[in-house]
Structure 1
Amino acid sequence: MPFTPPALTQDQLADLRIALLLFVIALGLRLVDHRRYRDTARVLRALRLTAIQAPHTPYFEKRDDRIFAVLPYVWLWLDVIAAQFVARAVDHWAGYLVLALVVAGRFRGLQEVGHIAVHGGLCASKPFQWAVADLAFTWPLGKARMAVRHVNHCRRHHPNPNRPDEDPNLIRFAAVGFVPGLSRTGFAVKLLHPLLPAGWVETMTTLAHDLTSDRGWRLAARLAVMAGVAGAMAAAFGWQGLVFGHLVPLLLIYPLFSWISVIAEHRWYARADSGRRMTDECTNGRPTDYSGISGWIVRQFVSPYTDSWHLAHSLYPFARWNHLPAIDAALKARNPDYARHLSHGLLIPGRGRPSALSELRERMCGNATGDLADWAAPPLSPPPLAGSDPA
């Protein structure tokens, strides 16, 4: 007998209609944003990419467009709410699993939009975009506020990528045992670190640290916003919406996506001692092509926005994500150093090139590439884990 899908109730149909409307609005906002920032030729001229510039060349003068600094947060939260309506309409364990994955991916999107804001890349007013990021990202998700993130990311990480005792990401890696000398099995296990008991403890410890870094009215406001978001999810979508549409993504899946993205960003533990800033940036980083369906998944869930072109971002940190594909293409065509460590894909090598993680695995699990930094030779002694996630 042919399969006959179950008839939908009026409530389910209403949920799906609301979800569709929210998705359409979110898509419309994305299209408006894309149209606004499609002027890549002007960007390349402003950056003078007819010739290679020194790292951190000031971005072209930005218009004070505060509306467009807010829109990404709006469409990402619309995605979250729309996914909640779809999951409630489906009302099946598979739907709630998809909900958790989608929401975790949107949380990664919020993190990366905040990442652009911490560099001042959304509009001319840094205080404005930091305030929006705090209200729409750091407070609802319990992350370190933007002023703290600026210190960790812009002052500690960006000037010191892949430098022991200075790069907060390397300090974190050492603290959790993600260091050269791992077996291939150990490397694979460490990729799942946030899902393991030690990783979950790290997530909760970081959450507590970030919350208690504020005092007085800021702490009260943060707690009120966090409780308000969680309460709204529970009131609107029941315990399933709270658990699978907020808590599981926030405390398990989003930390996993964020962890993998940090691991894939740089050529960790590589030897980079030329003394020339541009050369060392290109040695410590890798442009990675994410193509096809798997590439789309990576760009949506693990490495959204600037993270998909991280080396171009490292060189031009004020650039909006809209312009990074053109900057990446221009650098590949003009700078042999930039394209020297080109990789393809996140996990599985392709097109005759290593993937971002396979290249790192070879260095950490046997040094087959021969470029392990002298200071990274095992064993490395782990320092105490301190501070918030700087990614």
Structure 2
Amino acid sequence: MVICLVIFAAGVGLRQADRWWFSPRRGRRRPATLRDIRALQRERANNVTPTLLLAGHWLELVGWWLAAARFGPLGWAAAAVAGAVTFRRLQEISHFAVHGVLTRSGRAGAVLCEAAAHVPLGFVPVPVRRQRHVREHHPNATVTGADPNLRELHAAGLRPGVVRAHFLRALVFPLTPAGATVTVRGLADNILTSGGRWWRLAGFAAVPVALGAALGWQAALFGWMVPRLLLYPQLAWMSLLVEHRWWDAEPVVGPPAVVEAARCLRLYPNSPASALLARGTWLPYGDLYHYAHSAHPAVRWNYLPLLEKTTLGTPEYTPDALLLSESAVVRHHFRALTRTVGAGGATAVRVPGGRPRGRLEPANRSGDGLASR
């Protein structure tokens, strides 16, 4: 037990170097504008603290794997849950590497991203993810036929007219047999159809094989296979569901902040405890601030809360719950999928202090799949 705690504490400690170095609270003057934030981010950009950040997460995993090998069912459960959360964190860190803001050098960020996340977790190569996420998703979020993320939701059964039972099943799609099959097929496709596939396959297999050889099948199964194939995909799926107003977004014309305010949402703006839990588990490293990220993708996660507070405000839809309230995200999505969409209206953006930043142009629904129901 002591060894596990020491290793885990060492991993957490390593991670704090990056957090401290990029903290907007460190320094004589706190940045107050987007220009200030970008200048501070450029000034502090480096290749060392991100390396320590990723190494810290892997060291934490070692501590959980030891727990799985030594402490029976309780250790298995802890390792499975902690492994899934850590994989989510690695996914989000690598997401910022794909945007080029993890490190000072874009090449160093890509190498770190591949070595610490993409290869061992079986993701697509960095250039492929950059194409899908930066070039296809960001400019086309919520646009039917153009957004690859929306295609994933459609493939899971989240389509206009869905019945309640199918909708509820789609919410936990990665945990269903069909969802697990999609995960396995996706892994095979990611690894076997990419360049350098033999070493990507070897890299993906190396961790569970080494775990089984060094610590036993329990560590390999509960420390790697269960979180990677079931629990982590579910956490990532939940994150995807709360990124956007997927089925009732109002298309508008304007600067990025205005466009994204109409199609993003901001979860837990008035629930600090829920927000803290989400940031520590399934919405890590800026994922809770998806509106701020969508409006300014080149801003590192450390500065997204400040950007929201000082510059952007929040989008129109700011639910305080995922499941259990009238305005909860899940209920909102279900209503959007099961009602007939009327004529477009106008959207307002809320800024700090709750005052609207003015009216936007009426929505242009041409090409909107919901409008043709």
Separation of aligned partners in 1, 2:372 and 2:315: 31
Mapped to 2, the partners of 1:225 and 1:211 lie a distance apart of 10
Match of 1:244 in 2: 222
Q: Return closer, same or farther for 1:235/1:371 CA change in 2, 3 Å cut-off.
A: farther
Question: For residues 282 and 136 of structure 1, what CA distance do their matches in structure 2 show?
Answer: 33
Q: Secondary structure at the match of 2:139?
A: coil
Kept in 2, the 8 Å contact 1:59–1:319? The answer is no
Map Cα deviations across residues 287-344 of structure 1 (whole Å, 9 max, x no partner).
Answer: 2226455443322332111211111111121222221111122245xx5xx3421122
CA contact (8 A) 1:187 1:365 kept: no
Q: CA separation of 1:361/1:368 partners in 2, compared to 1, >3 Å: closer, same or farther?
A: farther
- Assess if the C-alpha contact under 8 Å between 1:72 and 1:113 holds in 2: no
Match of 1:20 in 2: 5
Verify the 8 A CA contact 2:16 2:53 in the aligned structure 1. Answer: no
The yes-or-no answer on 1:345 pairing with 2:339 is no
State the alpha-carbon separation in 1 of the partners of residues 157 and 139 from structure 2.
24
| Larger displacement relative to structure 2 (57-66 or 295-304) | 57-66
Q: Indicate the residue corresponding to 2:143 in structure 1.
A: 163
Residues 325-336 of structure 1 mapped to structure 2, 5 A cutoff = 325-331=305-311, 335=313
Aligned to 1:265: 243
Shift of 1:275: 1.9
1:62–1:123 contact (8 Å) kept in structure 2: no
Which ranges in structure 1 are unaligned for 5 or more consecutive residues? 1-15, 50-56, 381-391
Which of 335, 346, 359 aligns to 1:362? It is 335
Deviates more, 1:157-166 or 1:220-229: 220-229
Letter in 1 for 2:213: A
User: Which protein, 1 or 2, shows the higher relative CO under an 8 Å CA cutoff with sep ≥ 6?
Assistant: 1
Indicate whether 1:289 and 2:268 are aligned.
Answer: yes
Unaligned 5+ segments in structure 2 are: 346-364
Instruction: Give me the TM-score of the superposition, normalised by structure 1.
Output: 0.81
Q: TM-score, normalised by structure 2?
A: 0.85
Instruction: Tell me whether 1:79 sits opposite 2:55 in the alignment.
Output: no
Shift of the 271–289 alpha-carbon distance from structure 1 to 2, 3 Å rule, reads closer
| Aligned equivalents of 1:368, 1:95: Cα separation in 2 | 49
Shift of 1:66: 0.4
Contact 2:12 2:60 in 1 (8 A): no
2:33 is matched with which residue? 45
* Cα RMSD for the two superposed structures: 2.6
Single out whichever of 94-103 and 236-245 deviates more from structure 2.
94-103
State the alpha-carbon separation in 2 of the partners of residues 160 and 59 from structure 1: 29
C-alpha separation in 1, matches of 2:344 and 2:224: 42
- The runs of at least 4 aligned residues of structure 1 exceeding 3 Å deviation read 40-46, 57-60, 290-297, 365-374
- Matched residue, 1:134: 114
Query: 1:1-391 to 2 correspondence within 5 Å?
Result: 16-39=1-24, 42-47=30-35, 60-91=41-72, 93-215=73-195, 218-277=196-255, 278-289=257-268, 291-331=271-311, 335=313, 338-349=314-325, 354-366=327-339, 375-377=368-370
**Structure 1 position 368, deviation (Å):** 9.1
Q: CA deviation at 1:175?
A: 2.3
How many residue pairs match? The answer is 348
How far apart, in 2, do the equivalents of 1:60 and 1:73 lie?
A: 19
Code of the residue aligned with 2:57 in structure 1: it is L
